[in-house]
Chains A and B, each alone.
Chain A
Amino acid sequence: MRELIEIQNVFRTYVDDKENQVEALFDINLSVREGEFISIIGPSGCGKTTLLRLLAGLDAPTSGALSINRHEIKSPDPERGYVFQQGSLFPWLTVEKNIASGLKARGVYQKQKQDISHYIQLIGLAGFEKSYPHQISGGMAQRVAIARALINRPAALLLDEPMGALDSFTRADLQEKLLELWKKNNTTMMLVTHDVDEAIFLSDRIVIMTPRPGKISEILKIDLPRPRDRAGIDFAGIRSSILEKLHLASTRQPPEYEI
């Protein structure tokens, strides 16, 4: 498989209100193959969102280069779908119209509107087309957000803790939906998560990041056959090794908030 996303020597430094420099990303290097499922995991503040926003083109690196299909990433583009942590559905549009807004934004609504019902079926929300976001559950809302990004058939889907606010049942449900969509469309997935099990269950590779400065401490290849058994011995082994690494990573660093 060929390389799709290339991240080379990327730094991103923020200057906060008190003129302190925060190195959100420090020398990030990563290349992602087409159709790969990557999870990014790490303690709060290690720059996961920052990295994803750079990939989306919503923010620019202080130095370094990001590219997709050998084109430099400069601005947002529907070829890179983005799913926000929560609450990103337009509250004034129904489920159906929220999904349709993906098409309308690109001006291809007339041509592709028959896709909408297909995606509604795919995320299992048939019967809720006319509901407004506040009338559906958080898990349903995240599925709508995913469908809205996917209807543009992006080459890569960037997901920033899309299941962060969900209970474990809904979360497991959504994880399988995500795998289903991934297999079906061969979309390259980059998922930020706090949940080690989620990362192991879904990913081809797991990127472990550490904060202050935010950098990649390790990239783990997960070779378990799919569908994966969360209760399996191999699964448990990988889990404890990741937890250990994360634990080390978080104790080695100074405390997150100094008072």
Chain B
Amino acid sequence: MSINLLKNSSILAPSLKRGRPSLNKIPSQHNILNIRNLRPALHNISNTRYLLSILFTVSGLLLAQLANWYFPQLAESEIKIYEINLFEAALFKLNIMGAYSIVLFAMIFIYLVIGVYSYFDPDRRIEYIQRAPFRFVSGIGLALWDILGTKTLLLPQPFFPGPSRILEALLMEGGFIFENTLYSLRLFTAGFVSGVVIGVVTGILIGWFPKIYYWVYPVLKITGVIPAVAWMPFALTLFPTPFLAATFLIVISAWFPVAFLTAQGIASTQKVYYEVAKTLGARTSFLVFRVAIPNAMPHIFTGISTANAYAFTTLVISEMMGQPGGLGYYINASRVWSAYYKVFAAIIIMAILFSLIMWGIGVIQRWALRWQRGLVK
């Protein structure tokens, strides 16, 4: 104790008294935080190397394209020609090879566009180069899959159709698949959004009011871990339409993780923040909406991400167990006819949908939690 005091008392030299440079003369924040200028030279990628990497990226897909067109069709299966009526305006004649070719070209085009876009930004260049091997190998993978599947039928059929065969599902009944996708989306949006909203509200109530915590939290803990689809029999009898029944199940599955984590986030608010707010003159509404809820935001978003996965699972399962539409319904209907290429088509669409939703949530999350950037890794 006394040592500490002595140290402090001798430390301040008289020269410190006046004319100290004040901190507002520090160069503006913009200069300080502009780290990009400090990047070591190794990160600067030469133009030639970058262009080669673009070429490398698309060459896998080009090989897939070559396999599509020039590898002989060895299997004795019929390649049908489909007429596609695009918005009643233009009529296309297309077989599965043509459709697959369009998809491959689209992918090549996208990678080229990303390549050009990333050209101007050193960070994106690095990212592009890092992803090149994966993209190349995916192309090779598609080529192999195509050869072993549709071309030669060496993979066990009908379980593993090639990529072009999967596209056939879209050629045959693209409109029907689209309708089912819309049905799934509608169901998901209705259930997920209400589940998240209800979850946030109940989570705040549980986290804020000790009484509600006491009575509701144990119920939440016990019922929450039960997979929502277990309630299916009740849902189907209690709700007038299958759509409402499934919505209810998705609401439950999204509600639980959101409520749980929101409550935790609210309850974990440090006392000092409430005390600061009170000394500043805050009333309860300020404590809830400007202290507890912002503090809980990271938790809330963790809850939403988890809820997204739960809700998606519930969506597909409940569609497979008794909905008049949706991708889950489509899978089930196709399976009955052993049309596994259709099953794959639906699965791929689901994967794309789910990734898009995750991406959208990620964008919102990064915006809402921008204050955390650099604070957590």
Contact = CB atoms under 8 A, between A and B. Distances in A.
Contact of A58 (B23, B26, B278): B278
Contact of A77 (B1, B272, B275, B281): B281
B368 to A, nearest CB: 9
A121 B350 CA distance: 54
Nearest to B31: A127
A128 interface: yes
A105 B281 contact: yes
A106 B280 contact: yes
Interface stretch (B9-17, B62-70, B196-204): B9-17
Given A44-B1, A173-B23, A195 B279 contact: no
B294 A90 contact: yes
A246 B17 contact: no
A148 B6 CA distance: 32
A132 interface: yes
A106 to B, nearest CB: 4
Interface in A214-259: 227, 229-231, 239, 243, 246-247, 250
B282 interface: yes
A47 interface: no
A246 B2 CA distance: 8
A239 B9 contact: yes
Contacts of A149: 279-280
A124 B24 CA distance: 5
B297 interface: yes
Nearest to A231: B14
Query: Which of B2, B13, B372 lies at the interface centre, i.e. has the most chain A CB atoms within 10 A of its CB?
Result: B2
Given A84-B276, A195-B8, A243-B2, A106 B281 contact: yes
B8 A196 contact: yes
B8 A197 contact: yes
Contacts of B295: 92
B364 to A, nearest CB: 15
Contacts of B5: 194-196, 243, 246
A86 to B, nearest CB: 10
Contact of A148 (B278, B280, B286): B280
B371 A91 contact: yes
A30 B33 CA distance: 48
A90 B273 CA distance: 7
Contacts of A250: 1-2
A126 interface: yes
B294 A105 contact: no
Query: Which of B5, B22, B278, B295 lies at the interface centre, i.e. has the most chain A CB atoms within 10 A of its CB?
Result: B5
B17 A172 contact: yes
A45 B12 CA distance: 26
A130 interface: yes
B279 A56 contact: yes
B237 interface: no
A65 interface: no
Contacts of B20: 169, 172-173, 176
Interface stretch (A1-9, A111-119, A134-142): A134-142
A125 B11 contact: no
Contacts of A82: 275-276, 279
Contacts of B14: 229-231
A101 interface: yes
B236 to A, nearest CB: 43
Interface string A52-68: 00001110000000000
A147 to B, nearest CB: 12
Query: Which of B11, B275, B276, B294 lies at the interface centre, i.e. has the most chain A CB atoms within 10 A of its CB?
Result: B276
A80 interface: yes
Interface in A182-209: 194-198
Interface in A71-107: 75-78, 80-82, 84, 87-88, 90-94, 101-102, 104-106
A152 B277 CA distance: 12
A20 interface: no
B280 A88 contact: no
Contacts of A21: none
Query: Which of B14, B279, B280, B375 lies at the interface centre, i.e. has the most chain A CB atoms within 10 A of its CB?
Result: B279
A124 B272 contact: no
Query: Which of B16, B277, B281 lies at the interface centre, i.e. has the most chain A CB atoms within 10 A of its CB?
Result: B281
Given A127-B29, A128-B29, A246-B2, A102 B280 contact: yes
B366 interface: no
A88 B271 CA distance: 10
17 contacts: A58-B278, A77-B279, A87-B272, A90-B276, A92-B295, A127-B28, A135-B29, A140-B23, A168-B11, A172-B12, A194-B4, A196-B5, A196-B9, A198-B8, A239-B9, A243-B2, A250-B2
Given A56-B279, A88-B272, 20 more contacts: A76-B275, A76-B278, A78-B279, A84-B276, A91-B375, A94-B371, A102-B281, A104-B286, A105-B277, A125-B23, A128-B29, A135-B29, A168-B8, A172-B16, A172-B20, A194-B5, A197-B12, A229-B14, A230-B12, A246-B1
